[in-house]
Amino acid sequence: MMLTKSEGELAVKLARKAIEGCLKNKKKIKPDNLPPVFKEKRGVFVTLNIHVDGTIMEKELRGCIGRPYPILPLGEAIVVSAINAAQEDPRFYPVKPEEIDDLVIEVTVLTVPEKIKSKPKDLPGKIVIGRHGLIVAAGRCQGLLLPQVAVEHGFDCTEFPCQTCMKAGLMPDAWLEGAEVYSFEGQIFEEIEPGGEIKEKILSDECYLILN
């Protein structure tokens, strides 16, 4: 079930509150007094961006961590993922308290990932840019890219699985050589500016038809 606009706004506000509670008060907040959907187990990712040179159009990643599978209630998953994104993304140094007011927060609520069943050469035809995110898994290696990554970087349906393979630490063509590929969809809510208005991000016309 999709989140309503007001529920999406609450999701992003919860992520910001979790980061503030952790960095400023050294406490993990509890996701209380929220609509019933926040008690449902959902996969979710929290993405932190910083506007470049103070412009809304240009932004750079500051952290992104989540849970691709529905193992935690949505509220708890948002809190934990937000804190992890701020403190434990190995690609970045931990966010400092003075940076909080510069963060633009994005929450992506995921559908359950499903294995793409096709011959490897036919796999690109099963991927819709702007609708699907991907997971590639082979042995102990696993990589995930959210739906918005393909759109933001201009990947096509062939480049997207290649990039996901590299995220997993595999060769780009691993999806042609037996690696398992899973797809999922995501409902995205983001701040327009730090702590400001929150909107639902629509990635493409195809995605728009699904979400509405």
pLDDT of residue 1: 76
pLDDT of residue 203: 84
pTM of the model: 0.91
pLDDT of residue 54: 57
Range(s) within the chain of domains with CATH label 3.30.700.20 = 5-110
pLDDT of residue 204: 65
pLDDT of residue 55: 57
Phi, psi for residue 183 in degrees, rounded to 5: -120, 155
Estimate to the nearest angstrom the gap between the alpha carbon of 53 and the chain centroid.
24
pLDDT of residue 58: 72
Tokens matching residue 73: 């209630």
Side chain identity, residue 115: K
Give the pLDDT confidence of 59-97 residue by residue, as tens digits. 789 999 999 999 999 999 999 999 999 999 999 999 999
- Mean pLDDT across the stretch 20-47? 95
The DSSP bridge partners found for residue 183 are 114, 134
Mean per-residue pLDDT over the chain, rounded: 92
pLDDT of residue 127: 95
What are the residues whose beta carbons fall under 8 Å from the beta carbon of 43, sequence distance 6 or more? 66, 67, 68, 69, 70, 77, 109, 110, 111, 112, 113, 184
- Mean pLDDT across the stretch 160-164? 97
The torsion angle over the Cα atoms of residues 93, 155, 160 and 86, rounded to 10 degrees, is: 20
Range(s) within the chain of domains with CATH label 3.30.1490.150 = 114-183
| Coil/strand/helix, residue 200 | strand
Instruction: Report the share of the chain in percent with pLDDT over 70.
Output: 93
DSSP secondary structure letter of residue 28: -
Tokens matching residue 136: 């590639």
Q: How confident is the model at residue 205 (pLDDT cuts 50, 70, 90)?
A: very low
* CATH architecture of structural domain 114-183: 2-Layer Sandwich (3.30)
Give the pLDDT confidence of 9-31 residue by residue, as tens digits. 999 999 999 999 999 999 999 99
Phi, psi for residue 24 in degrees, rounded to 5: -95, -35
For the domain with range 5-110, which CATH number is right: 3.40.50.720, 3.30.700.20, 3.20.20.70, 3.20.20.120? 3.30.700.20
